[in-house]
Amino acid sequence: MEVKGMTRCQKCGKQWTFKEKLRKSFKFSFDRSMNCPHCQEKQYLTNGYRKKSALITFLMILTIFLPSFLGASWEIYVVCLVAAVSIGFFLQIHTFELSNTDEGDFWNE
């Protein structure tokens, strides 16, 4: 039984640790591939994950700026900022999905 949030290499089947996913997710690059830390085979983020990630990022940005549009105090703004960033990064790391092949741009499906 596959546990949700368990990211596995599609080639060797080994599970990526939280630390490995965190390190890979903060590496900004236009190259969509990531090497598996166990077998060094190229892995790609699935289009499904990239769609979820885009939605999570949009909701993070909306949550961060919503209090300022509503005229909330700076304390509420700071709480929303910390909550949005924390929850957003947690969700993005725990919804990681890998594929052996580059599925192309998700908006061209």
Label each residue of the chain as H, E or C.
Answer: CCCCCCCECCCCCCECCHHHHHHHHCCCCCCCEEECCCCCCEEEECHHHHHHHHHHHHHHHHHHHHHHHCCCCHHHHHHHHHHHHHHHHHHHHHCCCEECCCCCCHHHC
Instruction: Look at residue 82 in the predicted model and tell me its pLDDT.
Output: 92
At residue 3, does pLDDT exceed 60? Answer: no
Whole-structure pTM value = 0.72
The domain limits of the chain are: 18-104
Q: What's the mean pLDDT in 27-56? A: 82
Please, are residues 16 and 25 in contact by the beta-carbon 8 Å criterion? no
Instruction: Look at residue 73 in the predicted model and tell me its pLDDT.
Output: 87
Q: Residues 80-92: pLDDT tens digits?
A: 889 998 998 888 8
